[in-house]
Amino acid sequence: MLNRLEGKRCIVTGGGSGIGRASAQRMAQEGAAILVVGRSKDNSEETAKLIRDAGGKAAAMVADATDEAAVQAMVERCVAEFGGMEVFFANAGTPGTGAGILEQTVEEWNDVWKVNVISCMLAIKHAGRHMVAHGGGSIILTSSAGSLRANAGAISYCASKAAVNNLAQTAANAFAGQLVRVNAVLPGLVETKMTRTVFEYAAARGKADRIGYMVPLRRPGQPHEIASMVAFLASEDASFITGQCYAVDGGISSSHPAGKTTV
């Protein structure tokens, strides 16, 4: 394992499971101290314990990534716990529903926008303020390959993730000259708590082997494969990279696979 993050202090939201947990573990393996943040005390502490049991340094915190005071408190806790903060992985997210465009509700869009976009804005605002004052850092946002084209997820979800892509680009330019890098990771279909129903539905129909058949690599991804990109963007190996959106999706966004449409 590489040791690119030795001495770095990192916050990971949505760190209790899936991509967040895998990324927290990967960055800890590379030498970082991790503040694992989630809405569930049990899940967040479990991730932190997994890191500590493996010889890493981690603490857990229960907080709402869409609440401004809570995000500011995350930064303060990381600094108090570990002495600083150089990396913020804004990974909190919600999938939305599969309702057709004519059945979409304002309530769903408000909720999805708040969790998927506002949480990223708050991470950028409060992590960025600290990083500007302390020599820079890396902010990483979780978007989705579904942000790039239609029919790769719920309408509200895909639209919100497209906003995250633009937020990464505009924030990177807003921090010009401040040594604060902002990038987005765009996972494809990965087996996590958020996508579990897709995998369970396929298994129930006896079609588990068909999951990922439209992907050039002919399989779904795994959380640790997204974590590899997160760790790279957190490290100095990515020191000349900002304002970019990286699809980690087995190649599906390189083509135009047909998908289901609903009205």
Q: Which residues are catalytic?
A: 157
Name every residue whose Cβ is closer than 8 Å to that of residue 138 and which is 6 or more positions away in sequence: 86, 87, 88, 180, 181, 182, 183, 233, 234, 235, 238
Amino acid at 180: V
* Among 238, 236, 217, 227, residue whose Cα is nearest residue 187: 227
d(CA 124, CA 9): 16
d(CA 50, CA 46): 6
d(CA 145, CA 60): 29
Q: For the chain, state the CA radius of gyration.
A: 18
**Strand pairing report for 180-187 and 245-248:** parallel
Q: Crossing angle of helices 155-174/106-113, nearest 10°?
A: 40
Supply 221's token pair.
Answer: 């991804």
